[in-house]
Amino acid sequence: MVSEFTLCGDCSKGRRPSFSLAAPPQEAERFYRYFVHRLEESGGIKIATGQFQARMEVTIVNDGPVTFILDSRKTGLP
């Protein structure tokens, strides 16, 4: 289990997203550890983890979809 990160970016102002709504590191680590625990409880899956918030260099091939949630209520659109 690679403890990468998930960002909650608000793109409603300017050209750069704001990450002020993202979870603080301590809360994010609790969610991560909970997820690992639930996977371990499910059985049949061997889980290996590293150090949370460690600097990592990984090589991946990401050929999957990307999900964007657009909330038009913040932009005044219908």
**pLDDT value of position 20:** 82
Q: What is the pLDDT of residues 21-72, one digit of tens each?
A: 778 889 989 988 998 899 889 887 888 888 888 887 767 676 767 666 666 6
Q: Determine the structural domain holding residue 44 and report its residue range.
A: 1-78
**pLDDT value of position 30:** 92
Element (H, E) at 31: helix 25-42
Query: Residues 6 or more apart from 11 whose CB is under 8 A from it?
Result: 17, 18
The 3-class secondary structure across 44-59, one letter per residue, is CCCCCCCCCCCCCCCC
**pLDDT value of position 77:** 45
The separation between CA 64 and the C-alpha centre of its own chain, rounded to angstroms, equals 15
**pLDDT value of position 73:** 66
Domain count for the chain: 1
**pLDDT value of position 47:** 86
